[in-house]
Amino acid sequence: MARKKRIGILTGGGDCPGLNPAIRAVAKTAFVRHAAEVIGFKDGFEGLIEYQTRELHPEDVSGILTKGGTILGTSNRANPFAYGEKKRDVSKQALRNFRSLKLDALICIGGDGTLNIAHQLYRLGIPIVGMPKTIDNDLEATDYTIGFDSAVAVATESIDNVHSTAESHHRVMIVEVMGRYTGWLALYAGVAGGGDVILIPEIPFDIKKVCQKLDARGEIGKRFSIVVVAEGVKPGDSQLVVKRRVKGSTDPIRLGGVGYRIAEQIENLSGLETRVIILGHLQRGGKPTDFDRILATQFGRKAVELVTSEKFGYMTSLRGGKITSVPIKGAIARLKKVKLNLPLIEAARAVGTSFGD
């Protein structure tokens, strides 16, 4: 009898809704279609480095479709090529652990940081398949990433809830959302939540024009406004607002707090009372949306198909409504920025949304 295939799987980087549906899809496809074994690594690449694993069985992935987070745990600090405070290269150790488990492939679910590491491990000799996950939706070569839609839903609901208090107190409410260096999350949530002003990194803004928009609303009797701000915008001084730096992380810069800088500028220029809500990690929590559950399920099936066909060094992708695969190397070559001619931007402008330009 042929030996059963053994597939490794890990989730790296920040958590988000949709990871558990992705794990479920990989495991169930492996069990049902191929009678394969699935070995999960705990806490991302840390599990691969430290040999921390758990074998997944059908009962382990039953009932997790609707759950946020990841049953395997995750980490954004465990880089096999720069591990720990001393930044040691323990990639050979990771390779030995992989081989000692007699795995046929390793499926890595994550964003650009995780997939960069995955690509390096692939070059080292580990047969890798990637699955794109990030609430920032900033990975090239896929239209959407797992977790983005769920984060948009959380941010949109938060913007909805802010409207009543903004209107009651006649205030400007700034809602700061995540997204790192791109504006996908702010754009989608801002449009869905009816933001009057949306500020994203791809469109440089003038604070005076933002205030003109707010004043114009006041002149027609709208005594409140909602301003949706991406954490990666530069408030006029061409400097990102960095909340802190995390040693040992694959991406040590933590953005956050730009909303307060913009609020101060608005109050100084317009005199309008302004308050700030920073959604932060709230956007990473909660149940995955139906879109993310469906996307993760399709990506999981495709990932196992790539393993069984030995198409390594590739990442699952959604392109024009079709599930396909692309080389990981191309997917991580550059960030996917919001294009200025995006139809959604034109639609937002058409209904009166200002981008501060």
| Residue 89 is a catalytic residue | no
Q: What is the 3-state secondary structure (H, E, C) of the chain?
A: CCCCCEEEEEECCCCCCCHHHHHHHHHHHHHHHHCCEEEEECCCHHHHHHCCEEEECHHHCCCCCCCCCCCCCCCCCCCCCCECCCCECCHHHHHHHHHHCCCCEEEEEECHHHHHHHHHHHHHCCCEEEEEECCCCCECCCCCCECHHHHHHHHHHHHHHHHHHHHHHCCEEEEEECCCCCCHHHHHHHHHCCCCEEECCCCCCCHHHHHHHHHHHHHCCCCCEEEEEECCCCCCCCCCCEEEECCCCCCCEEECCHHHHHHHHHHHHHCCCEEEEECHHHHHCCCCCHHHHHHHHHHHHHHHHHHHCCCCCEEEEEECCEEEEEEHHHHCCCECCCCCCCHHHHHHHHCCCECCC
Q: Single out the catalytic residue among 136, 138, 149, 292.
A: 136
For the annotated catalytic residues, the residue numbers are 136
